[in-house]
């Protein structure tokens, strides 16, 4: 069983999904099914949150060991997962723009924790306050996720206009 293991980023090993070819010439019902949906081991089960990370790591690990050009270094690093748990940080610079969390702005005269994001419709904007920045480190890069407290300006405008 040890022969079909793929190394994981955190030192453990994971079995590869079964990939043995079968002779379907004597099984017409099975042969017809292979043109339909993928076999169960080729996709994650219904519990996507629990199973997708392992499925994705296995799928990309197989591409990596086969030297498949679709397996880029960034994709492989993403499939291996972050090097450790996320780190909460107060500020960061992304694409030349500095982002600062609200708790850092509380005692300052200048406020820099506001977030503005365009909506799908022309002229539509969403406004919020940056509450937390989580930084994940991978082998090739870092990823930051923002936790934002969004404001409903339409609701607020109705309240102010009615008084």
pTM for this structure?
A: 0.58
Q: Which of 150, 145, 140, 93 is nearest to 116 (CA)?
A: 150
> Predicted confidence band at 36 (pLDDT cuts at 50, 70, 90)?
very low
What pLDDT, on the 0 to 100 scale, is given for residue 74?
93
DSSP label of 151: E
Is it the case that residue 44 has pLDDT exceeding 90?
A: no
SS percent in the chain: helix, strand, coil, step 5: 30, 30, 40
Of the spans 1-10, 16-25, 72-81, which averages the highest pLDDT?
72-81
In whole angstroms, give the CA distance from residue 102 to residue 149: 10
Average pLDDT, the chain: 75
Per-residue model confidence as pLDDT tens digits over 97-124? 899 999 988 888 888 889 998 989 998 8
């Amino acid at each position: 069983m040890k022969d079909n293991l793929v190394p994981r980023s955190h030192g453990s090993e994971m079995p590869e999904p079964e990939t043995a070819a079968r002779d379907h010439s004597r099984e017409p019902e099975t042969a017809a099914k292979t043109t339909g949906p993928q076999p169960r081991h080729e996709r994650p089960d219904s519990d996507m949150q629990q199973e997708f990370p392992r499925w994705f790591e296995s799928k990309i690990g197989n591409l990596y060991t086969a030297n498949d050009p679709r397996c880029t270094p960034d994709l492989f690093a993403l499939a291996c997962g972050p090097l450790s748990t996320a780190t909460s940080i107060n500020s960061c610079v992304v694409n030349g723009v500095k982002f600062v969390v609200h708790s850092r702005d509380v005692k300052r005269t200048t406020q820099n924790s506001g977030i503005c994001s365009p909506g799908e419709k022309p002229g539509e904007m969403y406004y919020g306050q940056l509450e937390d920045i989580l930084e994940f480190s991978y082998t090739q890069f870092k990823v930051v996720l923002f936790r934002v407290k969004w404001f409903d300006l339409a609701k607020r405008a109705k309240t102010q206009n009615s008084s």
